[in-house]
């Protein structure tokens, strides 16, 4: 039997597309609803530190459970047995580290970015290196997540669309990336957490639907599936406890070690997880978030493993439905595509899309916060509010140029206290450096306007000229003028008027 015969004859029908469209509309609606309520960067990045603990716990699960896990775990169960599930036996040890060490430590610091601690403990270059490595790591992870989700959508939609040039999977990749980038940038962390709750429910519904379909068609249950798997060519039995043979895929010892260190490292250094802990109000709520995440994570892993066993038993019983040599993950997807009732395929595709968008690193909690908090905003006032960051005591008595020495470039901008001091390094005759000067000027103008608009402490238009000591003779006068605003009448809103003593 040819593999192409596994596809549905007509691909997705209008009911399926309607289910997917409804999911995306609902997601955008949530993002717009919470996006309009944001007042400052704390609301955008940490939800004002007032998010419900149960929603945060489900959000952590939905974020870490990407398409790779959602589609890969049933295939791993089909091909290599229950070894992948043995790692959960290490949970009591990793739970002790996370709840007794990591969460209390980070909640006490009241951070926004996980990598702020690197600067407090060491210095800014170390923080910059940590944040940069995180962004690079998530870029690679994002490419795999988007590709896996796009491949799943492409395989269930039917034949290629005639009027689109090239393979349709390239268009799916672009569409998936653009949609995720737009709705996550609009809503902030509050919208992300609540859409993650929706996505978590979809993930659970999708795997339950697949298991229920196999049970209804074959009239079998988990006990039958386990017996079938344990009697199949020996590879689905329990893995060995330990082995020095590098050709052995999984042993119980290495599964325990892998799960322990993955959990400890993820919950102790990954901005994706730590930012969600930062969004709750107390240490107690952060611990509750971890516990709800663990319970749902274990339930999801159990259901996905059970789904793999169900599909293995299904295809062993119906050997004529799959060609020889079909990869296990594709076999799992083929089982999903056999859900014939209208709307079921769309619901499962929506679950795959949910797993992709929940794990998409283009979200504000993943890359933009690392860039904004760790790369762009080392000194001086926060971009939107004019609130000074805590300064490292070791930098006392050092000027901006000395503090920024590790990141000096041909063009640089330092925002410090209540004025902007600019030092542009190198000649501006080089076209590339002229472009850097132009970009720097635009960024500073945007920064000044935003801080004037949002700061409740500074009258509108009251900045004044830049002091002469902050002008470098190498900076052209035309550039210096961009740092000044003309004097205007001082306008105070009634709520901002200083109290009379």
Distance CA 29, CA 187 (A): 9
* pLDDT exceeds 70 at position 387: no
Element containing residue 263 per DSSP (H, E)? helix 252-269
* pLDDT exceeds 70 at position 50: yes
Element containing residue 400 per DSSP (H, E)? helix 400-403
pLDDT of residue 457: 44
Q: Are 116 and 374 in contact (CB under 8 A)?
A: yes
Distance of CA 78 to the CA centre of its chain: 28
* pLDDT exceeds 80 at position 19: yes
Q: 104: phi > 0 → left, psi -120 to 50 → alpha, else beta; which?
A: alpha
Average pLDDT in the chain: 72
| End-to-end CA separation in angstroms for the chain | 88
Kindly write down the DSSP assignment for every residue of 167-219, as one continuous string.
Answer: -HHHHHHHHHHHHHHHHHHHHHHHHHHHHHHHHHHHHHHHHHHHHHHHHHHH-
3-state secondary structure of 133: helix
Q: What are 102-114's pLDDT values in tens digits?
A: 999 999 999 999 9
The pTM assigned to this predicted structure is 0.65
Backbone angles phi, psi at 358, to 5 degrees: -65, -30
3-state secondary structure of 226: helix
pLDDT of residue 500: 54
Distance set, CA 452 to CA 170, 461, 485, 489 (Å): 44, 7, 11, 14
- Asked if the 3-368 domain carries CATH number 1.20.1730.10, the reply is yes
Is the pLDDT higher at 242 or at 329? 242
Element containing residue 344 per DSSP (H, E)? helix 344-358
Q: What are 273-285's pLDDT values in tens digits?
A: 999 999 999 999 9
3-state secondary structure of 241: coil
Q: Are 175 and 147 in contact (CB under 8 A)?
A: no
Q: Where are the beta strands (DSSP E) in 221-360?
A: none
Lowest mean pLDDT among 86-90, 99-103, 121-125, 156-160: 156-160
* pLDDT exceeds 60 at position 214: yes
Is the pLDDT higher at 482 or at 90? 90
pLDDT of residue 338: 52
Which residues belong to CATH 1.20.1730.10 in the chain? Answer: 3-368
């Amino acid at each position: 039997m040819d593999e192409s015969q596994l596809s549905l004859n007509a691909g997705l029908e209008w009911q399926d597309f309607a289910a997917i469209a409804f999911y995306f509309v609902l997601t955008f609606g949530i993002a717009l609803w919470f996006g309009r309520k944001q007042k400052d960067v704390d609301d955008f990045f940490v939800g004002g530190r007032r998010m419900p603990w149960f929603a945060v716990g489900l959000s952590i699960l939905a974020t870490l459970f990407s398409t790779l896990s959602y589609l890969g775990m049933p295939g791993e169960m089909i091909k290599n047995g229950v070894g992948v599930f043995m790692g959960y036996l290490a949970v009591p040890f990793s739970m002790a580290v996370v709840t007794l060490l990591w969460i209390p430590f980070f909640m006490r610091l009241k951070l926004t970015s996980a990598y702020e601690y690197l600067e407090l403990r060491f210095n800014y270059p170390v923080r910059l290196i940590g944040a940069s490595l995180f962004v690079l790591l998530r870029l690679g992870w994002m490419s795999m997540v988007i590709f896996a989700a796009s491949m799943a959508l492409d395989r269930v939609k039917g034949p290629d669309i005639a009027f689109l040039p090239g393979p349709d999977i390239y268009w799916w990749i672009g569409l998936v990336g653009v949609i995720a980038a737009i709705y996550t940038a609009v809503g902030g962390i509050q919208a992300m957490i609540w859409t993650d709750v929706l996505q978590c429910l979809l993930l659970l519904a999708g795997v339950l639907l697949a298991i229920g379909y196999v049970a209804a068609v074959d009239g079998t249950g988990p006990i039958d599936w386990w017996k079938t798997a344990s009697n199949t060519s020996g590879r689905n039995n329990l893995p060995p406890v330990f082995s020095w043979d590098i050709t052995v895929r999984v042993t119980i010892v290495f599964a325990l070690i892998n799960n322990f260190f993955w959990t400890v490292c993820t919950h102790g250094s990954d901005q994706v997880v730590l930012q969600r802990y930062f969004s709750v109000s107390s240490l107690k709520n952060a611990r509750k978030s971890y516990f709800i995440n663990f319970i749902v994570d274990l339930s999801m892993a159990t259901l996905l493993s059970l789904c793999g066993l169900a599909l293995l038993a299904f295809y062993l019983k119906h050997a004529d439905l799959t060609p020889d040599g079909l990869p296990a993950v594709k076999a799992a997807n083929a089982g999903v595509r056999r859900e014939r009732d209208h709307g079921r395929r769309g619901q499962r595709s929506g679950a795959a899309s949910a797993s992709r968008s929940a794990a998409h690193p283009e979200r504000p909690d993943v890359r933009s916060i690392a860039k904004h908090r760790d790369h762009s905003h080392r000194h001086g006032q926060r971009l939107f509010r004019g609130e000074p960051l805590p300064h490292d005591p070791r930098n006392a008595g050092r000027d901006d140029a000395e503090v920024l020495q590790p990141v000096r470039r041909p063009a640089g901008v330092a925002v410090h206290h209540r004025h902007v001091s600019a030092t542009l390094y190198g000649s501006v005759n080089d076209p590339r450096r002229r472009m850097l000067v132009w970009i720097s000027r635009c960024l500073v103008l945007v920064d000044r306007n935003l801080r004037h608009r949002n700061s409740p402490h500074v009258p509108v238009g009251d900045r004044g000229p830049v002091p002469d000591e902050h002008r470098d003779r190498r900076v052209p006068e035309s550039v210096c003028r961009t740092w000044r605003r003309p004097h205007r009448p001082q306008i105070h809103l009634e709520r901002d008027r200083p109290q009379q003593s």
